[in-house]
Amino acid sequence: MSKPNVLFILADDERFDTIHALGNDQIQTPNLDRLAAMGTAFTHAHIPGGTSGAVCMPSRAMINSGKTLFHLYGAGEQIPQSHVTMGECFRKNGYHTIGIGKWHNGVESFARSFSDGDNIFFGGMWDHWNVPVNSYHPDGKYENHINYVPDFQHCNHPMDMIAERISAGVHSTDLFTDCAVDFLNRRKGEEQPFFLYMALLAPHDPRTMPERFRKMYDPDQIRLPENFRDNHPFDIGINPKIGEDRDENLAAYPRTESEIRRHIADYYGMISHIDYNIGKLLEALEKNGQLENTIIVYTGDNGLAVGQHGLMGKQSLYDHSVRVPLMIAGKGVKENARTSDYVYLLDIYPTLCEMCGIPIPESVEGKSFLPALKGEKCNNREDLYFAYTHLIRAVKDRRYKLLEYKLHPEETQLFDLEQDPLELNNLANHPDYQEIRARLKARMLEYRAEWENNSENQYTDLYWE
């Protein structure tokens, strides 16, 4: 086989510090630990933030288009044809492209990305035990709609969903993984390389999972993060009481230690359930003789607070919300390696192109980090830019991070990430740090010129007015 296969696994809402082998001694992830040993783990992989409260939508659009945040169409609800998708690129270069699971970026872009697939979910979040899915349609038409009532206890107005069936009582992680395993088994012995994209709904809430995984973690034994707070100290611009951010309504105000421990225990249970299914995928690749010639990517689309800084969701620019796990294994990748190089998830696309000998489309803005996978230093990104809608902007270099808030400019934050990785000690008004603050502010404005100026994205200029 002239080109390697690619298995791309995307978790939903998984934070960077949720894998045992990468430093979390509270969680059980033996198969993800194995994957970390097989390849290279990025300890500082990031998303650039989001232009929607549903951060996963722009995040997945950036992953699949290689575009930066403000060069997306809207908040990523569609990927325009001028943005060559990752699946489309591999498909045009001789790959059998297979799409399974969540696709949050429009029917048309899915249709041109994949030549095969199944159990396709065109939506954001759902009840994990009753996911409405579609079979693959070669003509690209997904026209069957079903009615549903999102909150039947308080509303009797039905909405419609693109779907053909519901696999009642089958957890989404099992549903998608078993489908992927079936594809791997059926492809045994085929010459054409595959690009299999499996996008999960977990560990996104509602945090429910098979009972054996729920019982794996006792909330009373969970350690609270040191940056746990019962509330955020100021309003960052979201008002959960009027439905602007449902994530923050998942726990009562003020947050209590017992409730946050329960949320963390459930979060870990869902990730251990994912880990169990990663084992099934690795077993299928091994059994079919495909493991050595398959590049495996495992990552998450955004982080999650779960009680840190008094927040529950991902609608902030703290590291717990913008840092994600990223592990890559395969031929030529340094094994059992860790790198602290700064990367965005939109950099994965051009990296995979280089690994597979495929030309990088001109529309891709990501930067390949292939040297890092070989154990070499990769200095593509010495600092990073972040944005959340029109409300927050941030920039970080290798040591410091500056955050600004549109509604409360007096609450500007500056953190020394080396001494204060949990972002607790605000140095923004300390006289000894004004030069650093000014330097990072200047860099923020340079990023604004590069990413936001002359962009037609609706969220671009609202912050800077």
Confidence of residue 461 (pLDDT cuts 50, 70, 90): low
Mean pLDDT in residue range 388-407: 96
Q: Please give the C-alpha separations between residue 142 and each of 104, 108, 122, 199, in angstroms, as whole numbers.
A: 14, 9, 10, 18
> Is 259 in the same domain as 406?
no
Domain containing residue 442: CATH number: 3.30.1120.10
Provide the domain limits for residue 391: 385-452
DSSP 223: P
d(CA 343, CA 327): 12
Domain presence at residue 465: no
Are 294 and 4 within 8 A, CB to CB?
yes
> Is 134 in the same domain as 227?
yes
Are 344 and 78 within 8 A, CB to CB?
no
DSSP element (H, E) containing 148: strand 145-148
pLDDT of residue 453: 82
- Is 50 exceeded by the pLDDT of residue 26? yes
- Is 70 exceeded by the pLDDT of residue 465? no
Tell which residue, 345, 327, 325, 412, has the closest CA to residue 48.
345
pLDDT of residue 148: 85
Sheet holding 413-416, edge to edge: 49-50, 384-388, 392-396, 400-405, 413-416
Domain presence at residue 459: no
Share of the chain above pLDDT 90, in %: 86
Confidence of residue 243 (pLDDT cuts 50, 70, 90): very low
> Is 278 in the same domain as 142?
yes
Take residue 15 and report the two structure tokens written for it.
Answer: 């934070």
> Is 362 in the same domain as 391?
no
Burial of 454 (0-12, 13-18, 19+ CB in 10 A): exposed
Give the residues across from 196 on adjacent strands.
7, 98
- Is 50 exceeded by the pLDDT of residue 269? yes
Per-residue HEC secondary structure of 102-113 comes to ECCCCHHHHHHH
> Is 313 in the same domain as 410?
no
- Is 70 exceeded by the pLDDT of residue 244? no
> Is 44 in the same domain as 71?
yes
Domain containing residue 59: CATH number: 3.40.720.10
> Is 367 in the same domain as 409?
no
> Is 353 in the same domain as 413?
no
Domain presence at residue 408: yes
pLDDT of residue 245: 65
Phi then psi for residue 404, to 5 deg, are -125, 145
Rg of the chain over CA atoms, in angstroms? Answer: 21
Domain presence at residue 367: yes
> Is 390 in the same domain as 377?
no
Give 428-448 pLDDT, tens digit per residue: 999 999 999 999 999 999 999
> Is 303 in the same domain as 159?
yes
Mean pLDDT in residue range 7-19: 98
pTM of the model: 0.96
DSSP codes joined into one string, 254-266: SP-HHHHHHHHHH
> Is 301 in the same domain as 358?
yes
> Is 373 in the same domain as 416?
no
Give 53-68 pLDDT, tens digit per residue: 999 999 999 999 999 9
Confidence of residue 242 (pLDDT cuts 50, 70, 90): very low
Give 165-207 pLDDT, tens digit per residue: 998 999 999 999 999 999 999 988 889 999 999 999 999 999 9
CB neighbourhood size of 322 (10 A):
27
Higher pLDDT, 382 or 243: 382
Task: Read off the amino acid at residue 20.
Answer: H
Take residue 49 and report the two structure tokens written for it.
Answer: 């933030």
Share of the chain above pLDDT 70, in %: 97
Domain presence at residue 457: no
Mean pLDDT of the chain: 94
Domain count, the chain: 2
Distance of CA 124 to the CA centre of its chain: 13
d(CA 392, CA 3): 42
pLDDT of residue 2: 78
Tell which residue, 362, 218, 302, 345, has the closest CA to residue 14.
302
Three-state SS for 186?
helix
